Amino acid sequence: MTQVEFTKGMTLLTVAYPKFEVDQMTMEVWYSFFEDIKAEVFIAAVKSFVRNSKFAPTVTELLKHCEESKMIILNDTLKLMYQQGYFHQGVDDNQAYRNYEKANQWLQRGTEPEWLKEDMRRYRRMQLGQQDQLKLN
């Protein structure tokens, strides 16, 4: 994630928690922990944290929320793929569901093959594009 995207998430935290003061040094240190996380995951984690805690987060707490948000996004993407027939190509419904479950197991273990990661990225971009279209209409 870029520093600008990170700053947006931190701004959400400073607005939600007025006593949560962030100086330049804090921004740099925190960014070093979150720079490898995708912006959409970070923002989802910040929003989730704010909804569930009346106290400002620590780095560790927010990293935990990032992992949870990442899994939610990945699971939602897999569900979308299943609903749109990705796992049904050339197989019956039972086999399609088994393929979906296998992909889900790979996700939980973090062992998904590269071809599945790429297909999930493609579906995620498509899903985000559809959401943007709905916002514009």
Provide the CA 122 distance to its chain's centre, in angstroms. Answer: 15
Candidates 67, 70, 74; CA nearest to 105 is 74
* Residues belonging to the chain: 137
CB 42 within 8 A of CB 9: yes
pLDDT in tens, 8-49: 999 999 999 999 989 999 999 999 999 999 999 999 999 999
Token pair of 114 as six digits: 């590269």
Query: What pTM does this model have?
Result: 0.77
Amino acid at 1: M
Instruction: Check pLDDT > 80 for residue 121.
Output: yes
Beta-strand ranges (E) seen in 36-129 are none
Amino acid at 112: E
- Residue 53, number of CB atoms within 10 A of its CB: 13
What's the rounded Cα separation, in Å, for the pair 131 and 137? 10
